[in-house]
Structure 1
């Protein structure tokens, strides 16, 4: 998946989507980038990525390079390598799956070990559409998600890629918070200067990556 736009941007942020297989990471990314759901959804193999240019509230633009990582354990060595230099992450669980919520600690530990030290994380409870008609399907309450996010210093959203609920907000609130954190860290920088390790080298865009970078 790729963003067809080729606009200049002021900043380039590497973002990763992390979480168990089947929580809807690929659906969230497809909905945000393309505005549609995958036509033939399959489990992500290794890592895929897409890009999108997003305007900042303070002016200027961010080029978000968003990496969708596989949730299966057998791809852990590949996906963990792609956390390097990530300045933001969407840590995703399925609100109808208690297991996907319990395993967040494992994914969070991997992020802390391999990504940037000051990585900004958005905790995302996905698939809330499944609970709208059948509330009993919701196994992870909003309060549980909020508490976990607060305990670990994360942002929080509940989303649905199917009904397009809070999808854009999850991605763009994360990007805005990354910018805000970096701005506070690098006070005195002009808006057209880079934030050092916030920027990563431009990569040849590929729809799928099956080896470590």
Structure 2
């Protein structure tokens, strides 16, 4: 699909996980629609779907966003949603230590159950309530570094870092795809060179055999001349 600027629009499946009431749906709505409701959000039942196109410097990305329910009774459905995901954002509430513990569990699950190339991000949401923060920054940082995660403190209410989070993931996905293509091109080129080398070696061997045969013929001709001289 053309994004309108000559770039092909690349589609990626992105799934959000996290405990109930950490602000997953609010993050998605802030990113997709640019708004935040002060009214309490209705709990997501099963999963909610949104999509949004973002433009990078040389690429256009369409996110297909699956916002999963945080309620424990829906967690058995999670494998159905994260199967085939290209990226995932695990959300926790910076004012709720237990939500961070649940987030770590989600990260571990995704690391073991989803393809290795998945981009994993951790969002410490409700940064507008930083004065009520209860999750230790050092603990978060250590976990992020140990698991090579994209991490940002976000606020669905103010919009702080929400777009930046999704753009960071988009950038990583595009870079990953470019790296994969470069490796495939390199492998294809190496295979072509190997074939060419094999063909060249075979041709050289055939030429060498031909040269040996010619020398043998020359040797036989010389012998005949000698014989003729003796007979004369």
TM bucket normalised to smaller: 0.7 to 0.9
Q: Take 2:164 and 2:183, find their aligned partners in 1: how far apart are those partners?
A: 29
1:189 positional shift: 7.1
* Match 1:140 to one of 135, 140, 143: 135
- Counterparts of 1:168-183 in structure 2, within 5 Å, are 168-183=163-178
State the partner residue of 1:53. Answer: 53
Q: Take 2:72 and 2:108, find their aligned partners in 1: how far apart are those partners?
A: 14
1:156 positional shift: 0.8
Q: Which segments of 5 or more consecutive residues in structure 2 lack a partner in the other structure?
A: 186-232
User: Does 2:141 match 1:157?
Assistant: no
Runs of 4+ aligned structure 1 residues displaced above 3 Å come to 6-9
1:119-174 CA-partner distances (Å, limit 9, x unpaired): 1111110001112xxx2x11113333222111111111001011111110011111
User: Does 2:57 match 1:88?
Assistant: no
The structure with the largest helix share of the pair is 2
- Of the structure 1 ranges 153-162 and 36-45, higher mean CA displacement relative to structure 2 is found in 36-45
State the partner residue of 1:205. Answer: none
TM-score by length of 2: 0.72
Change (3 A) 1:148 1:188: closer
- Of the structure 1 ranges 138-147 and 94-103, higher mean CA displacement relative to structure 2 is found in 138-147
Q: Take 2:102 and 2:119, find their aligned partners in 1: how far apart are those partners?
A: 19
State the partner residue of 2:96. Answer: 97
**Which has the bigger relative contact order, CA under 8 A and spacing at least 6?**
1
Change (3 A) 1:81 1:113: farther
SS in 2 for 1:44: coil
Q: Take 1:86 and 1:113, find their aligned partners in 2: how far apart are those partners?
A: 13
What RMSD in Å do the two structures reach over aligned CA positions? 2.0
SS in 2 for 1:32: helix
Indicate conservation of the 8 Å contact 2:59/2:174, yes or no.
no
Count the aligned residue pairs: 180
Indicate conservation of the 8 Å contact 2:15/2:87, yes or no.
yes
TM-score by length of 1: 0.78
State the partner residue of 2:124. Answer: 125
Q: Which structure has the greater CA radius of gyration?
A: 2
State the partner residue of 2:230. Answer: none
Q: Take 1:114 and 1:75, find their aligned partners in 2: how far apart are those partners?
A: 17
User: Does 2:27 match 1:11?
Assistant: no
